[in-house]
Amino acid sequence: MDKCNLHTILRLPTGIFYAQGVKTNVLFFERGKTDKGNTPGVWFYDLRSDMPSFGKRTPFTTSYFEDFIKAYTAANRSAIVDKRWNYLSREDIKQKNDSLDLGLIADESLSNAENLGEPAEIAEEVLAELEEITLSLKAILKELN
């Protein structure tokens, strides 16, 4: 955040590019003019909260990005009234230990453990992913040797 101006973070629903529960964000930044202090603040757009569960029956289509595009391309971003769109100054972010896991809309799905799935199913998904990762790492090592 010093060398670049991190101006926007688009928070996507979990499980879009990877397994359910994995957080995905798109960061929009540009190279700064100096090596320090290039991010005065960050705009957040939250597509995680108050959204349907995406999958085969409810595909994640470009129509879900329409309001984000309006906010992102607005001449005056501060004038946009959208509960998903908010701004945090660099000072606000510093006060949160420089965590960028911010900008969430409070909704029931954030505290509702029923949406997490069964522990055995979660463990099986994680194990399958770890096995895939292990195979990929072994292939990489084989190529390197």
Give the integer Cα–Cα distance in Å for 84 and 15.
Answer: 19
CA distance 93 to 90: 5
Determine the residue type at 55: G
The Cα–Cα gap between 60 and 28 comes to 20
Give residue limits of the domains in the chain. Answer: 4-111, 117-145
Verdict on whether the full-model pTM lies above 0.75: no
pLDDT (mean) for 109-131: 67
Rounded CA gap, 110 and 140, in Å?
Answer: 37
For the chain, the farthest-separated pair of C-alpha atoms sits apart, in whole angstroms, at 57
**φ and ψ of 8, to 5 deg:** -150, 140
Task: Please check the confidence at residue 127 and state whether its pLDDT lies above 90.
Answer: no
CATH number of 4-111: 3.40.50.150
**What's the token pair of residue 64?**
């879900």
In whole angstroms, what is the distance from residue 28 CA to residue 23 CA? 16
Residues 71-84: tens digit of each pLDDT: 999 999 999 999 99
**Which is more confident, 119 or 1?**
1
